[in-house]
Amino acid sequence: MAIINGESGLSVKNELNTALTELSELRIVTLTVGTASVAAGNAGYVKSDGKIYKTDASAEATAGPVMIGIILDTADPDDACRLQIRGNYTTTGLTTGSIYYVSETAGALTTTAPTATDSVINALGYASSTTNFVIMPGVAYVTNSIDAVSINTQTNVNAYTLVLGDASKILEMNTSAGNIVSVPSSGSVAFPTGTTIDVVQINSGLTVISSGATGVTLNGSTGITSQGQWKALSMYKRADDAWTVLGGA
């Protein structure tokens, strides 16, 4: 274990003290209020127009890459208003030790991080006691986003061979004639093991999953042909040149 002593130790201690002082230093900006009135104690942010608005974690624009803090004045649109962006803020009813996040209720804070889709998780600070809130907004935030699955629709195509871009996607076969979806060999298209693909028959033509190359094995407990319009076949790669097909007739 390294031991810091002498002048080196004092230097490190002084640097730490300086850093802590800067973090707790009171910082307030005075601007004007935007299009809606605000109240003292609201959580607020500075919009691109340079004015103060209530925060809202429902959207990235009102709680994400913006300057946030506590509003110190009750004010109407275009009135001067102060926003405290760092330091100790005196209030009541806090839960000691809790981190407070921007809420999905405009101007409010919460000890529970938002979970709704596309909501923003951005901590404004923490409670050092039931009456003292330390404003320490971070430089980063995250959003609760859900990635949508892409859809590849093949219209009037009676023979289609899977490509790497189909991985983890939905393949729709839109044709009135019987059609074949071929699974290529691993040497031809290197789908990672565990790849899933859903194939949906969206027209009257039945879809058949077929081995597109020698050595490709398709395992299915019931079959590899779709069961009718708007019925799906789900498939996953379990090993090189070995796929399992589910939902077939």
* pLDDT at residue 19 is higher than 80: no
Using pLDDT thresholds of 50, 70 and 90, give the confidence band for residue 117: confident
**Over residues 65-89, mean pLDDT:** 96
Please, which pLDDT band fits residue 247 given cuts at 50, 70 and 90?
confident
Predicted local distance difference test score (pLDDT) of residue 37? 98
Taking the mean position of all CA atoms in its chain, how far away is CA 223?
38
Q: Which has more confidence, 205 or 140?
A: 205
d(CA 163, CA 174): 18
pLDDT value of residue 2:
45
Q: Compute, in degrees rounded to 10, the torsion defined by CA atoms 161, 167, 172, 177.
A: 20
- Whether pLDDT at 105 is above 70: yes
* Averaged pLDDT score across all residues of the chain: 89
Given pLDDT bands bounded at 50, 70 and 90, which one contains residue 149? confident
Backbone angles phi, psi at 61, to 5 degrees: -65, -25
The CA distance from 23 to 17, in Å, is 10
DSSP 8-state code for residue 130: S
Overall pTM > 0.75: no
**pLDDT recorded at residue 4:** 45
Query: Which segments within 111-203 are labelled E, that is strand?
Result: 120-121, 123-127, 132-135, 142-143, 151-155, 159-161, 170-174, 179-183, 196-201
Helices (H), 51-207: none
So what's the pLDDT on residue 13? 57
